[in-house]
Structure formats: structure tokens, C-alpha cells
């Protein structure tokens, strides 16, 4: 394949199963991914010249998990910048955010706004964090934005695309979506933007998914022929 791989999106899965298999509390799997796995994957993306790396950290459906785990995930997101993202920001990585912010705790909303502002001028790579994100919710919010602006007569493809979360920073659709953890579905991730994404599923749990595994997914991508329905 001669087409350049610009945007990789990741659905981290298997954190809880990994933790339980190691006799650890559920949050330990999430912590290992955020503090150890993601930094290594970001370094790999920087090495390869990837323009955008999206990571789905929390879905709109995750609110239905046990409150203890939800609280732990919110706290983990709160420590995300100081424990990990501050370092990569110094490497020239711009942080962007995809998802609803209106129902997040006020302190987390403030932190996210600060992270975006602090890295706004970085241009080496975009790390796009999908938090409190769902593909269907993304589309519904886009439609409601259009209706609020009085565009009732007709909603074309470009109009809808211009109101999706990815439009805020003009992000390209993902070329490659990777899901470790053994499940073979997208679970509503980037429902609109994933129409022609190449999919790579892996049986490894996310806490065990490292740079070499990312390279395997990329090699697989370049071995394919993208047809876009033609």
C-alpha cells in the first residue's frame, strides 16, 4: 500500500480481565495502560511520524460500571497530565479532546481546558483523547448543533461532518483502528469516521500490548489494499 498512514485510533480493551488474571484490583489494569503502555506507544508513533493517535479512554456507556471503578477512572484522567501527558507535551505533542465535557466534574473540565491550552501550539503529533465519548452521541450532538443554528432544510454529509468532534481540530478519519483484548467489534467508536478505516483485532490484553504489537498492526495495514468501495 502506497497510501500514508496518518491517523491511528486505539480501543484499549482487556484492562479489567488482565488485572483479575494477575490477582490485582481492576484499577491496576487501567493504571498500567495509562502510566506504562500509552507512553511507549506514543513514543513509537512519534518515531514513525504518525500525525494523529486517538485513544478511547472512557465511553458514554462506562458510566454504568461500578461507581468505584468510575471514580477511579475519573481520578486517573485527573492525574493524566502530570503523570504522563506533561512529558509528551514537552516532546511537541498537541493534546486534543473528543467527547462530552458538560457532565464531567468541574475540576476535570478545568484540567482538560488547561491541557488543551498548554499544548495548542505543539505540532509534532496530535494525541487525541476520547473521554466520555460515544460514536452515536457524537452524531446526535452534531445534529443538535446544526438544528440549534437553524439549518433545518437539509443536512448533507459535509454539514454533519463539520459538526462532529473530529472537526474541532480538523482531524482526519482514522486510517487504522486497533482493538486489543480479543473482542472483534467497534462498540460504536467513531461510528461516522470509521466507515473506511482498516480494522486490526488482537487477542493480547491492552496492558500487554506494546510497541512491537503496534508495529505488527501497522505492517498489516500496509499489506492491505484500500478500495473505498471502488
Full set of structural domains in the chain with CATH = 7-134+174-222 (3.40.1180.10)
User: Tens digit of pLDDT for each residue in 88-114?
Assistant: 888 999 999 999 999 999 999 999 999
pLDDT of 151 over the 60 cut:
no
Give the mean pLDDT of the chain.
93
The one catalytic residue in 15, 43, 62, 170 is 62
Task: Please say if the pLDDT value at position 85 is more than 90.
Answer: no
Mean pLDDT of 148-157: 77
Q: pTM to 2 decimals?
A: 0.94
- Under a CB-based contact definition with an 8 Å cutoff, are residues 217 and 200 in contact? yes
Residue 2: what pLDDT? 58
pLDDT value, residue 155? 82
Query: What's the mean pLDDT in 158-177?
Result: 94
Question: What is the C-alpha to C-alpha distance for residues 8 and 218, in angstroms, rounded to an integer?
Answer: 9
Set 13, 137, 173, 213: catalytic member: 13
Q: Is 15 a catalytic residue?
A: no
pLDDT value for 78: 87
**62 in active site:** yes
Q: How confident is the model at residue 149 (pLDDT cuts 50, 70, 90)?
A: confident
Amino acid at each position: 500500500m502506497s497510501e500514508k498512514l496518518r491517523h491511528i485510533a486505539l480501543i484499549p480493551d482487556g484492562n479489567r480481565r488482565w488485572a483479575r488474571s494477575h490477582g490485582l484490583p481492576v484499577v491496576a489494569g487501567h493504571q498500567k495502560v495509562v502510566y506504562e503502555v500509552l507512553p511507549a506507544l506514543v513514543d513509537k508513533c512519534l518515531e514513525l511520524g504518525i500525525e494523529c493517535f486517538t485513544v478511547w479512554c472512557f465511553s458514554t456507556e462506562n458510566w454504568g460500571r461500578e461507581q468505584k471503578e468510575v471514580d477511579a477512572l475519573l481520578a486517573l484522567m485527573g492525574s493524566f497530565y502530570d503523570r504522563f501527558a506533561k512529558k509528551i507535551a514537552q516532546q511537541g505533542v498537541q493534546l486534543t479532546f473528543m467527547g462530552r465535557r458538560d457532565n464531567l466534574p468541574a475540576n476535570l473540565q478545568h484540567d482538560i481546558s488547561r491541557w488543551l491550552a498548554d499544548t495548542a501550539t505543539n505540532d509534532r503529533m496530535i494525541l487525541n483523547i476520547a473521554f466520555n465519548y460515544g460514536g452515536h452521541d457524537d452524531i446526535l450532538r452534531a445534529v443538535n448543533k446544526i438544528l440549534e443554528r437553524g439549518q433545518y432544510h437539509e443536512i448533507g454529509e459535509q454539514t454533519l461532518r463539520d459538526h462532529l468532534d473530529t472537526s474541532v481540530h480538523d482531524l482526519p478519519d482514522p486510517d487504522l483502528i486497533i482493538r486489543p483484548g480479543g473482542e472483534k467489534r467497534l462498540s460504536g467508536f467513531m461510528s461516522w469516521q470509521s466507515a473506511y478505516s482498516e480494522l486490526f483485532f488482537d487477542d493480547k490484553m491492552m496492558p500487554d500490548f506494546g510497541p512491537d504489537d503496534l508495529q505488527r498492526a501497522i505492517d498489516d495495514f500496509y499489506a492491505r489494499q484500500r478500495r473505498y468501495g471502488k
